[in-house]
Structure formats: structure tokens, C-alpha cells
Amino acid sequence: MSESSSNLFAVIGMGNFGASIARTMANAGGDVIAIDKDMLIIQELAETVPNAICADSRDIEMLKEAGVQDADTVIVAIGSHMEDAVETILNLKELGIKNIIAKANSVRYGYVMERVGADTVIEPENEMGQRIAISLMNPKIRDIYQMNDDFAIMEIVTPELWRGRELRQLNLRELYGVNVIGLRKANEKRVDINISANTVLHDDDFLVIAADATRIASLNLD
């Protein structure tokens, strides 16, 4: 493996979650090592992820041969097999990996992974459930990313009462705990982050906001 790079990632476990991360990084031009112990999975993945390697992450020597020690961030995406994930995380700690992100299928699994050394634990199914529930409760919320129990980033349809007014007039931070961090026109995919207090909101605007997660349900978005 070549010299360590700040853009070098490793993803261990090529289930749907891990494979999606590896493919997305590779398609975006990122330098990523994809690892799984199933050769058939690796052979299929190699079409889109050039550096796909068949290795058992429980074996630290195999991780070394794959060059994992050069990665700055490693995603452990084998959340359904806790013992394998724990052994893998311990190996990564021994290799000196600075940032370990682990997928967990339950709070209990997540707690164990944190205790053995994972820097960040994510629960994709739980987070998706939260997103769907919040979106169903308030259809004005187009998408939401729950950062933690206290903070969320979401895209919302501009409420009718906010339209035609400057951001400074709405006093959103004080009234709702909301910070507007981006704006997207209905017919565009690009989010404009160059907004100011003088920005006037229109009926075809979608707002990207950072908000207090505990107050989302109480936001008046009509």
C-alpha cells in the first residue's frame, strides 16, 4: 500500500450498508479499501471498487497485508455479528487507527462497540425509523438527518408565513432554535449556502436548517 493519505478509507464488511459506502466513495474518486471474507462478494464488488480485498478482519496480519494500517478512518460495517465486530475493532486499535466508525444493529451492540474502542457508533435502521416517523408527522419536512438526540439537519418546504420576508425579520433562531444554513430552488439540486440575513424567502424555496431536535415536532411549518 502507498503512503498514508488523509483521503484513505477502509470499509470492512460488504453487506448492503458497507458495500453502499464503498461504492459511493469509489464513484466519487475516493481512495477506499473494501474488505470482506467472502470471495464471491469481493469479486462482484471489484467491478466498481478497484481495491476490494478478500480478508478476515479478525486476523490482524490479513488487515496489515490489505494495508488497513494506512487508513485514517475505518468503517466497521459488520454490525449483525458482534463478536466479529469486536475482534475487528480491537485489531484496528492495535494498528493505531485514529478514527473507527462502527455500525450497530442495536443499542446494546453499540454500547459494546464503544467500550472496546469505536469512536463513533451508528444505528442505520434506528436512524431511518426516526427520519420516517418525523417526516410522516410533518409532511413539510422533506428530509432529515438526526445528528444526535439534541440536534438535526433537515430540508423543509418554506412555510407560507415565512415567504416574502427577509431571514432577519423572522427571528428564527430565537423563536424556534432554528439556523438556516442553505437554500435550494424547487427545480434545482444544488444547495446555495451563500445566504445572509437579507435573503428573501420565496414560495419555490426549500430551506436547509439546523434545529433543536427536541423542538422539531413543535415547529409551525404551515
| pLDDT tens digits, one per residue of 28-66 | 788 999 999 999 999 999 999 999 999 999 999 999 999
Backbone phi, psi, residue 120, to 5°: -140, 135
Which cell is 34 given? Answer: 473494501
Q: What pLDDT, on a 0 to 100 scale, did the predictor assign at position 110?
A: 87
31-41 per-residue burial string, b: 16 or more CB within 10 A, e: under 16: bbbbbbbeeeb
Q: What pLDDT, on a 0 to 100 scale, did the predictor assign at position 3?
A: 41
**Range from 19-33, 55-69, 81-95, 125-139 carrying the lowest mean pLDDT:** 125-139
Q: 13 in the Ramachandran plot: left (φ > 0), alpha (ψ -120 to 50) or beta? A: left
pLDDT-derived band at 4 (thresholds 50, 70, 90) equals very low
* pLDDT of residue 160 exceeding 90: no
Question: Are β-strands 52-54 and 31-36 bridged in parallel, bridged antiparallel, or unpaired?
Answer: parallel
Mean pLDDT of the 3-30 span:
83
- What is the average pLDDT value for the chain, to the nearest integer? 84
pTM of the model: 0.63
Angstrom distance (rounded) from CA 11 to CA 19? 8
Q: Where is pLDDT greater, at 135 or 152?
A: 152
Q: 157 in the Ramachandran plot: left (φ > 0), alpha (ψ -120 to 50) or beta? A: beta
Q: What pLDDT, on a 0 to 100 scale, did the predictor assign at position 179?
A: 86
Q: What pLDDT, on a 0 to 100 scale, did the predictor assign at position 19?
A: 93
Q: Which domains does the chain have, with CATH numbers?
A: 8-122 (3.40.50.720), 127-218 (3.30.70.1450)
Asked if 77 and 16 touch (Cβ cutoff 8 Å), the reply is: no
* pLDDT of residue 126 exceeding 80: no
Q: 33 in the Ramachandran plot: left (φ > 0), alpha (ψ -120 to 50) or beta? A: beta
Helix or strand (DSSP H, E) at 8: strand 8-12
pLDDT-derived band at 210 (thresholds 50, 70, 90) equals confident
Angstrom distance (rounded) from CA 26 to CA 100? 19
User: What radius of gyration do the chain's Cα atoms show?
Assistant: 21
